Amino acid sequence: MKIIAINGSPRRTGNTATFLHKALEGAASVGADTECIDLYSLNYKGCLSCFYCKRKDKEHGTCIIKDDLAPVLEKVKAADAVLFGSPIYFMNITSGMQAFLERLLFSLYIYSREIPSVLGKKLPSAFLYTMNATEERAQEAHLLDSLAPFETFAATILGTAPRKFYAFNTLQFKDYSQYESSIFSEADKKAYYEKHIAEELQQAYELGRQLVMETKRDEA
């Protein structure tokens, strides 16, 4: 069983990557083969709206763009489950993750009333979000609602509702004194981190484990 994590953060060892790798540890604990792909190490672009993937005389489900993302899309489609990880920038997923999801999900969706997806199987998934905002601030800004569209598309196109994980109030800097950051209290943010990080890492671990167990149940 293969589980792939997609890191939509430009930081390969940042908060998002840390939680993704912990989720993969959980997946590996119940027998999964795992891989993490860093999107920002690749040269690619988003959907070009060429509609090749919807042509009646072409192969449905295939994105025609030939770049570094092309083999990644094939890996994801062949996987047994996938984790989408992204930090929140300006109240949204990163542009790199959005471009990836455009290419993956839109190519599998063919404007057919009868066939909502051409993937040909269920692909269990999870969205893992990390953000500087506190949980209270995220709720006030209706952030979770703004993330729903891609989650809804994933549910329809991948055949099953995605799991979700949120890490709020993350640390952005090792030393806040080196950056313009007077709107934050470094002491408060570090105190929050120390209080919650162990529990959050365990939740990420459990996310990966449960994703594999869900996949095994579906295949049984």
Q: How far is CA 129 from CA 67, 108, 138, in A?
A: 26, 24, 12
Would you list the domain boundaries of the chain? 2-172+198-219
Q: Which CATH number fits domain 2-172+198-219: 2.40.37.10, 3.30.1360.120, 3.40.50.720, 3.40.50.360?
A: 3.40.50.360
pLDDT score for 13: 95
Backbone angles phi, psi at 168, to 5 degrees: -95, 160
C-alpha angle 110/111/112, rounded to 5°? 90
Q: Which residues of 68-97 are buried (b: 16+ CB within 10 A; e: fewer)?
A: ebeebbeebbebbbbbbbbbbbeeebbebb
Residue with structure tokens 């709206």?
49
């999900």: which residue's tokens?
A: 105
Digit-by-digit pLDDT tens for the chain (220 residues) are 999 999 999 999 999 999 999 999 999 999 999 999 999 999 999 999 999 999 988 888 899 999 999 999 999 999 999 999 999 999 999 999 999 999 999 999 989 888 889 999 999 999 999 999 999 999 999 999 999 999 999 999 999 999 999 999 999 988 999 999 999 999 999 999 999 999 999 999 999 999 999 888 877 6
Model confidence pLDDT, tens digit, residues 94-119: 999 999 999 999 999 989 888 889 99
- Please give the pLDDT value at position 112: 87
Output the pLDDT for position 220.
66
**Predicted pLDDT at 217:** 81
